């Protein structure tokens, strides 16, 4: 089994909140996952200004989850120096190779995401070209949704198709669901509300939440 990574999801409407949440988790993790939504791919808007990233300072490795349409034309906006991994949606791309090549040319890792109602088959042709595949376990955008159980079958299908592939799961990851997610074959676990809800907590509570997730993931 690959090493389990807990990655806090930064789901925020303003860049000030993005920075605040990143600072809160910096002592406890290696990676942070920033949700980006401008309303073109989801029914809500979150922070989505790539220029802000020029002012972001953090010791963490940063991945951006681009829940935006027309990604083939817009990928260049997000290839900022601080971004180490881009995750884009197969459903938002007419030619994923365009996005993959752009990331490679900027020395940025690339992941491909699929919606809950998409088959794992849509990403199979690209598994050898990307660094990870992400399956969303909730409708993209809004934090705090319940994990969709049929996601486990998709994780298993992806793992069986490519046992060496890194599989990331985003949505509904908590102490109740994390063990079955890992057992199905995922190793990268994006968690938002399990760490930050019901409201922004003090650092000691965030530390405990992350430790709880790790303990349940490896139980």
For 128-145, the pLDDT digits (tens) are: 999 999 999 987 756 667
Q: How many domains does the chain have?
A: 1
pLDDT confidence tier of residue 219, bands split at 50, 70 and 90: confident
Strand segments (E) across the chain: 5-10, 31-37, 61-67, 83-89, 109-114, 132-136, 167-170, 188-191
CATH number of the domain encompassing residue 53: 3.20.20.70
Residue whose C-alpha is closest to residue 102's, from 124, 79, 128:
79
What confidence tens digit (pLDDT) does each residue in 46-78 have? Answer: 999 999 999 999 999 999 999 999 999 999 999
Q: Which helix (H) or strand (E) holds 97?
A: helix 96-105
For residue range 165-215, list pLDDT tens digits in order: 999 999 999 999 999 999 999 999 999 999 997 544 444 589 999 999 999
Name the token pair of 205. 């509570």
- Asked if residues 159 and 184 have their Cβ atoms less than 8 Å apart, the reply is yes
Residue 168 belongs to domain spanning? 5-217
Q: Inform me whether the pLDDT recorded for 88 exceeds 70.
A: yes
User: To the nearest whole number, what is the mean pLDDT of the chain?
Assistant: 93
**CB-count exposure of residue 86 (10 Å: 0-12, 13-18, 19+):** buried
Kindly state the DSSP code that residue 38 receives in the 8-state scheme.
B
Structure tokens at 21: 């949440």
Q: Which of 108, 197, 185 is nearest to 154 (CA)?
A: 185
* pLDDT reported for residue 198: 52
Contacts of 183 (CB under 8 A, 6+ apart): none
Q: What is the mean pLDDT of residues 118-129?
A: 95
């Amino acid at each position: 089994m690959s090493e389990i990574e807990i990655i806090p999801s930064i789901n925020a409407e303003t860049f000030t909140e993005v920075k605040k949440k990143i600072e809160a988790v910096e002592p406890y993790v290696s990676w942070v996952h920033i949700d980006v939504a401008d309303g073109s791919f989801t029914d809500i808007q979150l922070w989505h200004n790539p220029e802000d990233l020029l002012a972001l300072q953090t010791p963490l490795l940063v991945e951006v989850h681009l829940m935006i349409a027309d990604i083939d034309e817009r990928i260049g906006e997000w290839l900022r120096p601080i971004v180490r991994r881009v995750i884009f949606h197969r459903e938002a791309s007419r030619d994923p190779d365009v996005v993959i090549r752009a990331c490679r040319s900027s020395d940025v890792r690339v992941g491909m995401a699929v919606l809950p109602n998409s088959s794992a088959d849509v990403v199979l042709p690209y598994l050898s070209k990307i660094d990870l595949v992400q399956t969303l376990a909730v409708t993209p955008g809004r934090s705090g949704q319940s994990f969709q159980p049929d996601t486990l079958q998709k994780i298993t299908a992806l793992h069986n198709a490519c046992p060496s592939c890194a599989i990331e799961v985003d949505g509904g990851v908590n102490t109740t669901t994390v063990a079955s997610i890992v057992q199905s074959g995922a190793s990268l676990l994006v968690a938002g509300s399990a760490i930050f809800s019901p409201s922004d907590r003090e650092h000691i509570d965030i530390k405990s939440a992350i430790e709880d997730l790790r303990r349940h993931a490896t139980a």
